[in-house]
Amino acid sequence: MVEITELHDDEPIEVTTPESTMEGAPQLPPGMAEFTGKSSEEMLAELKKSPFFMDSYDANGDHGDNPQLEALKSLQSEGTPKEIAERQKSRGNDFYKRKQYREALKCYTEGIDARCGVKFIEAALYTNRAACNLEFKNYAMCIGDCRKCLDRQPKNVKALFRCSKAMFAIERYEDAEKTLLYAVSIDDENVAVNAMLKKVRARIQAIIKAEERKARAKAEKEQKDKALKEALSLRGIVNLRTNEPADTPDGSKLHLEDSKDVQSQLIIPAMVLYPTTDEFDFVSEVSELTTPLQLAEIVMDRPDSYFEDGKHTNFRPKRLEAYLETQSGGLIKVGKKVIFSKALMQAHAPLFDGILRVYLVPRIDSTNWISKWDKMKALGKRQQ
């Protein structure tokens, strides 16, 4: 402030200025002195400590002894319901733009709680809160907010779009498609809506195709199972279930060479057991026309060192005898050149869980092994 002394015709004018803090710059008033030397960012931070500029306050740390926070709360709750709703909507939008979704959600909720009764304001608050709930993956809440928005503005495309996104997330694809088709009827040039509709329809088509593939696979399996059952019946072969079915190492299963032709060869997985040495081999595919000698030649196609081992001395194919377990729990010896389909039929020897079970025993050990066979134990392993 400039001070001017009383003027007299014979006296010069004297001008006095307060002390300057730097050359050419007047000293700031006391209330602004705290901003001296601070950057604009630092000054903004100071301003935000004032209730008029505060974005929010920590309710958990507010014990009612901070007049600034009390002032902020008072400012936020002052005004008519319409003014409060609009203010909270504006604050929520600011938070949302900064991706502070939790704060934005609180503001929209406070605006809704004001119950201003103005449909377009309430609709905006609900659809904006729906956007926050979508970010938090609160899909049911998002759909609920969109419905409340649509109660007030039935043609709100934003609400329809956000509702469809939530429906898509919870795999309600048909509902999402219906919602988007309604949105298109309102605004057929909306890029986001059309893109979402394309995405939803692509998912629906993918599901339809998957269901069709599943249905075809089921029908084919039923047809194969029916043909296999008929083929076994025609051959007089029984397939028994055991208490502990063996898993085939490669997933191979009993099947027909031509799954639609019951007269085609029966292909059987085979478990070849060597009870005298407590060993076994698994052959994934054995034709019903195979003989025990041919099977022995397959599994005993080994280097000479194998037979030089003391316990395998008598495991040469022609020194082995083949046995099958009968339906009554006993054993039947199968001739080396008898095909398995004939042996299974005539000896009433079953398959077990779709697997041919063959015992190969050295001729020299067969009498001793047979004497120790426990028929009741064998029957106990089958399903009753």
DSSP per position, 18-62: PPEEETTEEPPPGGGGGGTT--HHHHHHHHTTSTTT-----GGG-
Kindly state whether residues 373 and 260 are assigned to the same domain.
yes
The answer as to whether 94 is a domain residue is yes
Residue 248 is predicted with a pLDDT of 79
Angle between helices 119-135 and 157-169 (to 10 degrees): 30
Q: Does 198 share its domain with 80?
A: yes
Residue 24 lies in a domain: no
Burial 311-346 (b: 16+ CB within 10 A, else e): ebeebebebbbbbbbeeebbbbbbeeebbbbebbee
The answer as to whether 306 is a domain residue is yes
Residues 6+ apart with CB under 8 A from 310: none
Q: Is residue 301 part of a domain?
A: yes
**Domain co-membership, 177 together with 274:** no
In this prediction, residue 220 carries a pLDDT of 94
Per-residue pLDDT, 383: 80
> Are 126 and 148 contacting, i.e. CB atoms less than 8 angstroms apart?
yes
Last residue of a domain, one of 175, 203, 231: 203
**Dmax of the chain from CA atoms?**
153
Determine, yes or no, domain membership for 219.
Answer: no
Q: pLDDT tens digits, residue range 211-268?
A: 999 999 999 999 999 999 999 999 999 999 998 887 778 889 999 999 999 999 999 9
What CATH number corresponds to the domain at position 267?
A: 3.10.20.90
Question: Would the CA dihedral through 274, 275, 276, 280 be positive or negative?
Answer: positive
Neighbours of 183 (CB within 10 A): 25
Query: Do 80 and 198 sit in the same domain of this protein?
Result: yes
Alpha-carbon distance of 274 to 135, in angstroms, equals: 65
Query: Does 87 fall in a domain?
Result: yes
- For strands 331-334 and 266-274, give the pairing: unpaired
Identify the helix (H) or strand (E) that includes residue 155: none
Q: Do residues 190 and 282 both lie within one domain? A: no
CA-nearest of 352, 358, 309 to 327 is 352
Q: Is residue 36 part of a domain?
A: no
Per-residue pLDDT of the chain (384 residues; tens, 9 = 90+): 434 333 344 444 343 444 444 444 455 455 455 555 666 666 556 555 644 445 555 545 444 555 555 555 555 557 899 999 999 999 999 999 999 999 999 999 999 999 999 999 999 999 999 999 999 999 999 999 999 999 999 999 999 999 999 999 999 999 999 999 999 999 999 999 999 999 999 999 999 999 999 999 999 999 999 999 999 999 999 999 998 887 778 889 999 999 999 999 999 999 999 999 999 999 999 999 999 999 999 999 999 999 998 899 999 999 999 999 999 999 999 999 999 999 999 989 999 999 999 999 999 999 999 999 999 999 998 886
Assign residue 106 the CATH number of its domain.
1.25.40.10
User: Does the global pTM surpass 0.75?
Assistant: no
Contact present, 242 and 352 (Cβ < 8 Å): yes
**251, 283, 286: which is closest to 268 by C-alpha?**
286
Out of 203, 218, 241, pick the residue that ends a domain. Answer: 203
The domain of 115 spans 76-203
Radius of gyration of the chain (CA): 44
Residue 306 CA, chain-centre distance (Å), reads: 51
* Secondary element (H or E) of residue 81: helix 81-97
Do residue 196 and residue 275 come from a single domain? no
Q: Is residue 279 part of a domain?
A: yes
Contacts of 75 (CB under 8 A, 6+ apart): 51, 52
119 and 184 belong to one structural domain: yes
Euclidean distance between CA atoms 96 and 158, whole angstroms: 15
Helix H or strand E segment including 88: helix 81-97
Q: Residue 244's pLDDT is what?
A: 85
What's the total number of domains in the chain? 2
The burial of 125, by beta-carbon neighbours within 10 Å (0-12 exposed, 13-18 middle, 19 or more buried), is given as buried
